[in-house]
Amino acid sequence: MTFALASIHIYPVKSCAPVTLKSSAVETRGLARDRRWMVIDADGRFLTGREHARLTLIRALPNADGSLHLDAPATAGIRVPLPDTHGRRIATAVWDNPVAPLLADEATNAWLSKFLGAPARLVHMDAECVRAVDAKYARAGDEVSFADGFPLLLISQAALDLLNSKLAAPVAALRFRPNFVVTGTESHAEDGWKRIRVGEVEFDVVKPCVRCVFTTVDFERGERDPSGEPLRTLIGYRRSEKGVTFGQNLIPRGRGVVRVGDTVSIIA
pLDDT in tens, 219-229: 999 999 999 99
Domain boundaries, the chain: 2-9+148-266
The CATH architecture to which 2-9+148-266 belongs is Beta Barrel (2.40)
pLDDT in tens, 90-117: 999 999 899 999 999 999 999 999 999 9
CA–CA–CA angle 236, 240, 245 (5° rounding): 80
Is residue 150's pLDDT more than 80? yes
**What local confidence, expressed as pLDDT, does residue 94 receive?**
97
DSSP-derived 3-state class of residue 232: helix
Distance CA 160, CA 93 (A): 31
Is residue 239's pLDDT more than 90? yes
Average pLDDT, the chain: 97
In the structure, what pLDDT confidence band is assigned to residue 2 with cuts at 50, 70 and 90?
A: confident
Average pLDDT of 23-42? 98
In the structure, what pLDDT confidence band is assigned to residue 1 with cuts at 50, 70 and 90?
A: confident
Q: Is the pTM here over 0.95, yes or no?
A: yes
